[in-house]
C-alpha cells in the first residue's frame, strides 16, 4: 500500500502528526488545543468561506447545491468545493475545532473573532482591478476590513490580549490565479500592455507592499501560496488548449515565472524584517503531481508507526521521544484519483459558480473523491487534503 505514496511526503506527514501529538501531550499548545491563537486569511476563491454570499452584485457565489454537498452539514457553505478547503484541513491540524468565520457573515462577531476571521473573496486578486471586474472584495478592501477587525478584537479581548493574538496568529495569503485566468489572459488591453513576465513583476510588487502593510499592523507569521499549475485547470485547457487535452504549457510557464519572483520577494522581505516569519507555500508541485499521476494518490491505510518510520521521524525531529500515542491512523482516499481532465460538476470542462455548476447541471459525478477538480477551476475536497498536507509541512517554521 505504501508503495503507492511518495515516500518522503508520506514520512513527513507521519512525522508531523507525531510532532503535533507530542506538542499537545506536553501541554505546549495555546489555550490547550491550538498551536496558534487565530488564523486570519486573505485571498480568492480557493480560501473564500462565504464572504461572497453577502455581496449583492457578484455572480461569483457558491451558496447553492451541489456546492457543499460533502461538507459536514451537507449544505452549501459559500466554499467553492464539494466539501472542505485546504485551509479547513490546516485549521483542524492546528487544533481548531471550529473554523474562523467569513468576515461579512453574522458569525464574525463577539468571541468568535478571537480565533481569527476570513476576508477572502472569490474572484479577487493582487491587482484590485481583478476584483473590481467581478464586483468582489479587492485586496485593498480586505486590508481595510482587517484594520476594522483589529478594532473589534480590542473591544472583545482588550488591548493586551488583542495585541498577542495579532502577533501570534497565522496569516494565510492566497491570490494570483484570478489575476491571470480571469483578467490577464482574457483582457486584450492588459496582455497588450504587459508581457507575462512583466505582469508577474507587477503582481509581486503588490504582494511585497501588502506584506509590509501586514507587518506594520502587527502580523509576524505569514504564509502565502504560490500559483498552482494554472494550465492544468480544466477550464484553462478548454479555453486555451487549442483542442488538446493536456495542460497548457505556456500558462504553466507563466505560473512558474511568477512563483520564482514571489519566492525571491519573500527572501528579501525576511532580510528586511528579521522578526518576520514568512513562508511561500508551494501548491504548484503537489497539484501538478496529482494531475500527472492521479492513480498513485490514494489507498486505505492504517499505519503502525514503527521502523523505518520511527527512524525517519527521529532523524527529522532530532531524536524527539515518541509519546505513548505512537499508533497513527491515517486515512487516504479509497481508490485514488482517476479523473484529471474534468471536474466532477456537470461536464467539468467549463462549469464554475452559477455558470452550469448548479443543481440542474447534467452529468455531475456521484463520487467526487475520485476527481482532482470539483468544478472546472477548483480542487475537490480530496485534492484539498493533499494540498493541505503539503501546506502544513512547509509551514512548520511558522508555528514553531
Backbone angles phi, psi at 74, to 5 degrees: 55, 30
For residue 384, what are the contacts with CB-CB under 8 A and spacing of at least 6? 81, 83, 84, 85, 86, 88, 89
CB 299 within 8 A of CB 332: yes
For residue 380, what are the contacts with CB-CB under 8 A and spacing of at least 6? 81, 82, 83, 343, 344, 368, 369, 371, 372, 373, 374
Beta bridge partners of 39: 116, 170
Q: Three cell numbers at 224?
A: 502565502
- Let me know if 334 is a catalytic residue: no
Instruction: Pick the closest to residue 30 from 100, 96, 90, 110 (CA basis).
Output: 96
For residues 173 and 183, what is the distance between their CA atoms, to the nearest angstrom?
A: 19
Q: Three cell numbers at 72?
A: 459536514
- Let me know if 375 is a catalytic residue: yes
Catalytic: which of 12, 44, 45, 53? 45
- Let me know if 289 is a catalytic residue: no
Catalytic: which of 53, 88, 282, 375? 375
**Four-residue CA torsion sign, 275, 9, 258, 182:** negative
Backbone angles phi, psi at 302, to 5 degrees: -115, 115
Q: Which residue has the cell 519572483?
A: 261
**Residue 31, preceding bond cis, omega within 30 degrees?**
no
The residues annotated with a catalytic role in the active site are: 45, 375, 378
Amino acid at each position: 500500500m505504501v508503495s503507492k505514496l511518495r515516500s518522503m511526503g508520506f514520512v513527513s506527514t507521519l512525522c508531523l502528526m507525531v510532532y503535533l501529538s507530542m506538542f499537545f501531550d506536553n501541554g505546549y499548545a495555546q489555550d490547550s488545543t491550538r498551536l496558534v491563537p487565530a488564523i486570519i486569511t486573505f485571498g480568492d476563491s480557493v480560501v473564500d468561506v462565504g464572504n461572497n454570499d453577502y455581496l449583492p452584485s457578484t455572480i461569483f457565489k457558491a451558496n447553492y447545491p451541489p456546492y457543499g454537498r460533502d461538507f459536514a452539514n451537507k449544505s452549501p457553505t459559500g466554499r467553492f468545493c464539494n466539501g472542505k478547503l485546504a485551509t479547513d484541513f490546516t485549521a483542524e491540524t492546528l487544533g481548531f475545532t471550529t473554523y474562523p468565520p467569513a468576515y461579512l457573515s453574522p458569525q464574525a462577531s463577539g468571541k468568535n473573532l478571537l480565533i481569527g476571521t476570513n476576508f477572502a473573496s472569490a474572484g479577487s486578486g493582487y491587482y484590485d482591478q481583478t476584483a473590481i471586474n467581478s464586483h468582489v472584495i479587492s485586496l485593498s478592501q480586505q486590508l481595510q476590513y482587517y484594520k476594522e477587525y483589529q478594532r473589534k478584537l480590542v473591544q472583545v479581548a482588550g488591548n493586551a490580549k488583542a495585541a498577542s493574538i495579532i502577533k501570534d496568529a497565522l496569516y494565510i495569503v492566497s491570490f494570483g490565479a484570478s489575476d491571470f485566468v480571469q483578467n490577464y489572459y482574457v483582457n486584450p488591453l492588459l496582455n497588450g500592455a504587459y508581457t507575462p513576465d512583466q505582469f508577474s513583476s507587477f503582481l509581486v510588487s503588490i504582494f511585497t507592499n501588502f506584506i509590509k502593510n501586514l507587518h506594520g499592523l502587527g502580523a509576524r507569521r505569514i504564509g502565502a501560496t504560490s500559483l498552482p499549475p494554472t494550465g492544468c485547470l480544466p477550464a484553462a485547457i478548454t479555453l486555451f488548449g487549442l483542442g488538446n487535452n493536456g495542460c497548457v504549457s505556456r500558462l504553466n510557464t507563466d505560473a512558474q515565472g511568477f512563483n520564482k519572483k514571489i519566492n525571491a520577494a519573500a527572501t528579501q522581505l525576511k532580510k528586511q524584517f528579521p522578526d518576520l516569519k514568512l513562508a511561500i507555500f508551494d501548491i504548484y508541485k503537489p497539484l501538478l503531481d496529482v494531475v500527472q499521476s492521479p492513480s498513485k494518490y490514494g489507498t486505505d491505510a492504517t499505519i503502525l508507526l514503527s521502523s523505518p518510520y520511527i527512524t525517519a521521524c527521529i532523524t527529522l525531529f532530532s531524536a524527539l521521544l515518541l509519546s505513548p500515542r505512537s499508533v497513527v491512523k491515517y486515512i487516504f482516499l479509497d481508490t485514488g484519483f482517476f479523473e484529471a481532465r474534468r471536474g466532477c460538476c456537470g461536464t467539468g470542462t467549463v462549469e464554475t459558480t452559477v455558470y452550469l455548476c448548479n443543481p440542474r447541471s447534467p452529468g455531475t459525478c456521484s463520487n467526487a473523491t475520485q476527481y482532482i477538480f470539483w468544478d472546472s477551476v477548483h480542487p475537490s475536497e480530496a485534492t484539498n487534503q493533499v494540498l493541505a498536507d503539503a501546506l502544513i509541512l512547509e509551514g512548520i517554521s511558522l508555528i514553531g
